[in-house]
Structure 1
Amino acid sequence: MAPRSRWEDTDPARFVAAVENPVRRRDAGTLLDLLGRVTGQEARMWAGSVVGFGEYHYRYASGHEGDAPAAGFAPRKAATVVYLSDGVGAHEADLERLGPHRRGVGCLYLKDLAQIDLTVLESIVRRSYESLTAGTFGTRAREADG
């Protein structure tokens, strides 16, 4: 049985305009433009609250496989999340110059893009996107060693 697609028909611009927190809404608008420019892809909604760009296929050693956005973000209550599915470790040097952020295994938590070096963020997103779309990606973010 093929996995069902988690892409949705919701308009990403409408989703962004409806974000309640004004800083998150402003940042989401900035990321909508930045990720679209970096990836050359149109924004699409993924799984209800992730704005995704492009798609990559992953296949793990366990046999589990699927498709996911190759770049994306989600405006959350506490912070905006930028997804780096190739793992944050792959971007260590750039993250030192990014500005205030928190890290997860495969994501950045950004409270205010006005405090972030957007040129550095653009470089990080571009390299992550290129890595993920180069072919089948077989490493979980938590297993990537950067």
Structure 2
Amino acid sequence: MAENKTQPTDVSVEEFLAAVEHPKRREDGFELLDMMRNITGKEAVMWGPSIVGFGSYHYKYHSGREGDAAAVGFSPRKASLVLYGLIEGPDADRLLPELGKHKTSAACLYVNKLDDVDREILAEMIRAGYKHVTEEFHTP
């Protein structure tokens, strides 16, 4: 079975964020870094070349595929900020309508800039998403 391509690296999160070309995306990345660090109590780790992750969990699908992933995280992409681990928790359906301007996919939350969303709702989603993943998969 193929190994998960997105693995933790030793790349500096601060250096990665400082190199983000778009000034607002860079500023929002540093704000998310502080927010997620404070909420999770975990230090940020680069997962692959572009995901800033906090904590981790081990998953195993019914197909037999398994691996490790960041419990919550984000990536300051060119088109938008992509947030991971926030829309699968039990509170997500209740919180998403209150969040502000956003889009979702199967597992990701997309926001153009943090000024488009309610930061208190976002913090609650980070807290709930992290708790959900770490409790469901029994990881610290």
TM-score, structure 1 normalization? 0.86
Structure 2 unpaired stretches of 5+: none
Per the alignment, residue 34 of structure 1 pairs with 35
* Number of equivalent positions: 137
Per the alignment, residue 73 of structure 1 pairs with 74
Going from structure 1 to structure 2, the CA distance change for 1:105 and 1:124 (only over 3 Å counts) comes to same
Going from structure 1 to structure 2, the CA distance change for 1:75 and 1:31 (only over 3 Å counts) comes to same
Q: Does the 8 Å CA contact 1:86/1:132 hold for their aligned counterparts?
A: no
Per the alignment, residue 61 of structure 1 pairs with 62
1:126-145 CA deviation, whole Å, 9 max, x = no partner? 111111111428xxxxxxxx
State the distance in 1 between where 2:127 and 2:87 align.
12
1:86-144 CA deviation, whole Å, 9 max, x = no partner? 6378501111111101111111111010121111001111111111111428xxxxxxx
Q: Is residue 123 of structure 1 aligned with residue 124 of structure 2?
A: yes
1:6 positional shift: 1.0
Per the alignment, residue 133 of structure 2 pairs with 132
What amino acid is the match of 1:127? A
1:42-85 CA deviation, whole Å, 9 max, x = no partner? 00000110000000111111221111000100000110000126
Q: The residue matched to 2:92 in structure 1 has which SS?
A: helix
Going from structure 1 to structure 2, the CA distance change for 1:59 and 1:14 (only over 3 Å counts) comes to same
Per the alignment, residue 14 of structure 1 pairs with 15
The CA RMSD over aligned residues, in Å, is 2.1
Going from structure 1 to structure 2, the CA distance change for 1:86 and 1:135 (only over 3 Å counts) comes to same
Per the alignment, residue 114 of structure 2 pairs with 113
State the distance in 2 between where 1:59 and 1:118 align.
32
Going from structure 1 to structure 2, the CA distance change for 1:30 and 1:12 (only over 3 Å counts) comes to same
Structure 1 unpaired stretches of 5+: 138-146
Q: Does the 8 Å CA contact 2:89/2:129 hold for their aligned counterparts?
A: no
Q: What is the aligned-residue identity percentage?
A: 42
TM-score, structure 2 normalization? 0.89
State the distance in 1 between where 2:86 and 2:61 align.
13
- Residue range with higher mean Cα deviation, 3-12 or 51-60: 3-12
